[in-house]
């Protein structure tokens, strides 16, 4: 799951970093890193998943 960025002609480093960050967000890496930053108990993980599915059901109805 390596993200590679090739320099385009006349592209600055800032523009490359912006493209890299967008690709990381699109792949879900930033969200995954933030989630794994701290330990989460399995019961808390289940509770979070249940809340997420419940909100998804409410939106569909």
Cα angle for residues 8, 13, 14 (degrees, 5° grid) = 110
The answer to the question of residue 3 being in a domain is no
How high is the pLDDT of residue 1? 60
Location of structure tokens 């969200």: 31
The answer to the question of residue 8 being in a domain is no
How high is the pLDDT of residue 2? 83
Say if CB 23 and CB 3 are below 8 A apart: yes
Cα-based torsion angle of the residue sequence 29, 35, 38, 43 in order, rounded to the nearest 10 degrees: -150
**Domains held by the chain: number:** 1
The answer to the question of residue 5 being in a domain is no
How high is the pLDDT of residue 61? 76
Average pLDDT per block of 10 residues along the chain, 61 residues long = 86 94 91 91 95 92 76
The answer to the question of residue 23 being in a domain is yes
The answer to the question of residue 10 being in a domain is no
Tell me the pTM: 0.58
The answer to the question of residue 36 being in a domain is yes
The answer to the question of residue 6 being in a domain is no
What is the spatial distance between Cα 37 and Cα 2, in angstroms, rounded to a whole number? Answer: 20
């Amino acid at each position: 799951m390596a993200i590679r960025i090739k320099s385009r002609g006349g592209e600055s480093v800032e523009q490359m970093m912006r493209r890299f960050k967008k690709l990381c967000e699109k792949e879900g890496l930033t969200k995954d890193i933030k989630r794994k930053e701290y330990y989460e108990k399995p019961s808390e993980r289940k509770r979070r998943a249940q809340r997420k599915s419940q909100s998804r059901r409410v939106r569909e109805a």
